[in-house]
Amino acid sequence: RIDYQVATEGIAARALEAKVERAPSYDKRWSDHAPVTVAYDL
């Protein structure tokens, strides 16, 4: 599962970088989630 970020159009336009963070291999994962991190220019 991939988590989501929801933003208004104005905030979304200020996104600098987004990445899906997950372990490099299945045996290293502690969850089936793949957190999404977004950096914004605020």
Number of domains in the chain: 1
User: 6 or 35: which carries more pLDDT confidence?
Assistant: 6
The answer to whether residue 3 sits within a structural domain is no
- Model pLDDT for residues 17-37, shown as the tens digit of each residue: 999 887 777 787 777 777 889
The answer to whether residue 26 sits within a structural domain is yes
Residue 37 tokens read as: 């991190």
The answer to whether residue 31 sits within a structural domain is yes
Whole-angstrom distance, CA of residue 34 vs CA of residue 22: 5
Structure confidence at residue 1 as a pLDDT band (50, 70, 90) = low
C-alpha atoms less than 13 angstroms from C-alpha of 13 in its C-beta half-sphere: 3
The answer to whether residue 4 sits within a structural domain is no
Whole-angstrom distance, CA of residue 12 vs CA of residue 1: 22
The answer to whether residue 18 sits within a structural domain is yes
Determine the structural domain holding residue 19 and report its residue range.
9-40
The answer to whether residue 2 sits within a structural domain is no
The answer to whether residue 36 sits within a structural domain is yes
Q: Determine whether 38 is exposed, middle or buried from the number of CB atoms within 10 Å of its CB (0-12, 13-18, 19+).
A: middle
Q: Are 37 and 19 in contact (CB under 8 A)?
A: yes
